[in-house]
Amino acid sequence: MERIAVFPGSFDPITIGHMDIIERAAPLFDKIIVAIGTNSAKKYMFSLEERKYFISKAIERFENVVVDTYEGLTIDYCLNNDARYIVRGLRNPSDFEFEKAIAHTNRAISNYDVETVFLLTNSGKAYISSSIVRDVMINGGNYEKLVPPSVKYKKK
């Protein structure tokens, strides 16, 4: 059976922390789907098309990594894509507590058996989050060190 993993998130934008997780997860699975979750009630800095483009360019070198979008529950997306694993990056203890609660919830609400795999973010990248990157961008800071080269931002 093919080992398919989903790496879900809003990726607004994708960061070098996300890339660290993708690079380390790629050898562990036959296929990884970087799944951009959409929520019509949430306001994003980058459009879905921009986020998908940034990720597509950033993952080009990985033969087993693809990008997709979805709405609704991640566990349902996994079921619809035959994914038995969810990959999550952990930067700190509060990330672990939050992600652990989601993993337990997924098990409680679904008959579909999906295992959540936690990878610790490289310590040199653990401080990076999409919200910090957005703040740096909005305030004219040097965001290029925090994101893959595919991510471009023009201050409005």
Query: How confident is the model over 123-150, as pLDDT tens digits?
Result: 888 889 999 999 999 999 999 999 999 9
CA 108 from centre of chain: 23
Task: Give the mean model confidence (pLDDT) for residues 85-100.
Answer: 93
- Tell me, yes or no, if 47 is annotated catalytic: no
Task: Give the mean model confidence (pLDDT) for residues 75-93.
Answer: 95
Q: Which member of 91, 100, 107, 125 is catalytic? A: 91
Q: How confident is the model at residue 1 (pLDDT cuts 50, 70, 90)?
A: confident
Rounded CA gap, 25 and 21, in Å? 6
Checking if the pLDDT of 37 tops 70, the result is: yes
Checking if the pLDDT of 47 tops 80, the result is: yes
- Tell me, yes or no, if 31 is annotated catalytic: no
- Whether the predicted model's global pTM rises above the 0.85 cut: yes
Rounded CA gap, 56 and 22, in Å? 12
Checking if the pLDDT of 111 tops 90, the result is: no
Q: Is 85 helix (H, G, I), strand (E, B) or coil?
A: strand
**Which residues, listed in sequence order, are joined to residue 115 by a DSSP beta bridge?**
85
Q: Which member of 40, 42, 43, 94 is catalytic? A: 42
Checking if the pLDDT of 70 tops 90, the result is: yes
* Mode of pairing for the β-strands spanning 31-38 and 4-9: parallel
Rounded CA gap, 85 and 78, in Å? 8
Mean pLDDT of the chain: 94
Task: Give the mean model confidence (pLDDT) for residues 27-53.
Answer: 94
Cα angle for residues 31, 118, 129 (degrees, 5° grid): 95
Task: Give the mean model confidence (pLDDT) for residues 30-54.
Answer: 93
- Tell me, yes or no, if 154 is annotated catalytic: no
Which helix (H) or strand (E) is 66 found in, with range? strand 65-71
Checking if the pLDDT of 155 tops 80, the result is: no
Q: CB of 129 within 8 A of CB of 20?
A: no
Alpha helices, DSSP H only, in 1-155? Answer: 16-25, 48-58, 74-80, 93-109, 130-138
- pLDDT at position 156 is 65
The residue type of 12 is D
